[in-house]
């Protein structure tokens, strides 16, 4: 299955956000929402390092904890997400108040790109590589910078070469196993790159589709299978051990990113996200756990793509939840995870999705 080309790649200017999307998909952009994202971007701009990066704890998740391998310093993945938050607000490289902020972020990511295409610094891994590749794809589509396009192709080639026999990816390059949290990042990066004409082999997409489909909990086969109608996706393909809200949001969004928009797996996944929304927020949202941020980062994309009643009834309460938890300085707390630049970038991206500026959000 080939990736679907989605909409225009050039973003409109930010000042038209409210008028352009007021009636779009039934969600009105509120004044509080605009003030909140403005304050979040102001905080991010004020906390960007001189080298263009944003700080974050480099590390990895272990169950529900976050193991830090290097404390606060320039972080490839956090920088990519923060850069995308500005793009999602309609702020383009080289233009307007935040043009220099985005330019510095692009330059940092380009400097972190190795000769083999791997985007990494200070031990960041495939999560960060995927977010950085996605960021470069958005920038490339909006600016047509030739240096960005060349590095982007190499970053995509690295993802393609790193896909294993399962059809997925893992934390480290060339790993033999795979998991959904890593796979979804790579799928969205490949989609964004393919949308602007970067070479992505069809076989890579086909194998990724099979991995995601086989990771649906009720998609298991064999004598030990269990048919579960909840619509959840598991951490690892064929594994019955762990499934949750964040992984299900990732599974649905991965399918969308791979060009699948109408499917029983998606419908059941959407239903599960609605059913678990309130309990998920109570468990992880009040303490700013990274599960909350990445769960809703993918969940909001899944619902936005679905549209209609599903989108409106998901985004509206999520917006109020986020607005109520923004700190006085404009940031959002990250109790477990890389740090406040990560959580603030995620919150801004979630709140900005109705602006419809970022190409990856287009269907």
Instruction: Quote the CA–CA distance of 244 and 221 in Å, as a whole number.
Output: 20
Q: Is residue 324 packed enough to be buried (19+ CB in 10 Å), middle (13-18) or exposed (0-12)? A: exposed
Going from the C-alpha of 87 to that of each of 90, 167, 188, 274, 338, the distances in angstroms are: 5, 31, 16, 28, 21
pLDDT > 80? residue 19: no
Place 15 in a pLDDT band, splitting at 50, 70 and 90: very low
Instruction: Please give the DSSP secondary-structure letter assigned to residue 47.
Output: T
| Mean pLDDT calculated for residue range 334-362 | 93
pLDDT exceeds cutoff 60 at 6: no
pLDDT reading at 18 higher than 80 = no
pLDDT at position 7 is: 32
**Could you give all domains of the chain from N- to C-terminal order, each with its CATH number?**
14-361 (1.50.10.20)
Helix then strand then coil, % of the chain, to nearest 5: 60, 10, 35
Which positions ≥6 away from 182 have C-beta within 8 Å?
126, 127, 130, 168, 169, 170, 171
Check if the beta carbon of residue 338 is closer than 8 Å to that of residue 127: no
* Structure-token pair, residue 317: 């309460």
Give 60-67 contacts, CB < 8 A, sequence gap 24+: 60/125, 60/171, 61/181, 61/290, 64/289, 64/291, 64/336, 65/336, 66/290, 66/336, 66/337, 66/338
The pLDDT-based confidence of 55 (bands split at 50, 70, 90) is very high
**Using 50, 70 and 90 to split pLDDT, how confident is the model at 359?**
confident
Least confident of 6-10, 166-170, 268-272, 356-360: 6-10
Neighbours of 137 (CB within 10 A): 28
- 3-state SS, residue 113: strand
Nearest to 134 by CA among 205, 208, 189, 213: 189
Average pLDDT, the chain: 89
Stretch 77-99: mean pLDDT = 95
Is residue 217 a contact partner of residue 191, using CB atoms and an 8 Å limit?
Answer: no
The C-alpha atoms of residue 118 and residue 130 are separated, in whole angstroms, by 10
CA distance 144 to 351: 27
Question: What is the per-residue pLDDT for 240?
Answer: 62
Give the max Cα distance, the chain: 60
Give a three-class secondary structure readout of 239-267: CCCCECHHHHHHHHHHHHHCCCCCCHHHH
Contacts of 207 (CB under 8 A, 6+ apart): 163, 167
| List of residues 6+ apart from 271 with CB closer than 8 A | 231
pLDDT in tens, 305-329: 999 999 999 999 999 999 999 999 9
């Amino acid at each position: 299955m080939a990736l679907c080309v989605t909409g225009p790649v050039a973003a409109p200017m930010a000042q038209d956000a409210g008028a352009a999307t007021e009636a779009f998909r039934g969600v009105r952009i509120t004044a509080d929402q605009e003030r909140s994202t403005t304050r979040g971007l102001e905080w991010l701009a004020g906390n960007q390092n001189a080298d263009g990066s944003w700080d974050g704890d480099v590390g990895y998740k272990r169950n529900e904890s976050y193991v830090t391998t290097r404390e606060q310093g320039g972080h490839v993945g956090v920088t990519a997400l923060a850069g995308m938050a500005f793009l999602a607000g309609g702020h383009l490289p080289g233009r307007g108040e935040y043009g220099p902020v985005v330019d510095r972020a692009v330059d940092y990511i380009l400097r972190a790109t190795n000769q083999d295409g791997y985007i990494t610094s200070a031990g960041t891994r495939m999560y960060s590589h995927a977010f950085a590749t996605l960021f470069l794809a958005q920038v490339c589509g909006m600016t047509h910078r030739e240096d960005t396009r060349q590095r982007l192709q190499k970053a995509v080639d690295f993802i393609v070469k790193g896909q294993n026999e399962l059809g997925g990816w893992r934390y480290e390059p060339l790993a033999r196993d795979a998991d959904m949290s890593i796979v979804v990042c790579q799928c969205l990066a490949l989609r964004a790159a393919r949308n602007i004409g970067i070479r992505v082999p069809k076989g890579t997409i086909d194998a990724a589709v099979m991995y995601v489909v086989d990771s649906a909990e009720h998609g298991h086969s064999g004598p030990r299978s269990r048919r579960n109608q909840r619509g959840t996706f598991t951490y690892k393909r064929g594994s019955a051990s762990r499934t949750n809200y964040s992984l299900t949001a990732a599974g649905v969004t991965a399918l969308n990113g791979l060009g699948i928009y109408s499917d029983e797996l998606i419908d059941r996944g959407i239903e599960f996200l609605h059913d678990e929304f309130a309990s998920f927020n109570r468990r992880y949202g009040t303490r700013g756990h990274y599960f909350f941020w990445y769960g809703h980062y993918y969940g909001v994309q899944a619902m936005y793509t679905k549209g209609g009643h599903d989108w409106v009834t998901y985004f509206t309460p999520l917006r109020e939840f986020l607005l109520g938890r923004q700190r006085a300085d404009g940031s959002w707390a990250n109790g477990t995870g890389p740090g406040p630049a990560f959580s603030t970038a995620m919150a801004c991206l979630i709140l900005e999705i109705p602006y419809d500026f970022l190409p990856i959000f287009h269907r």
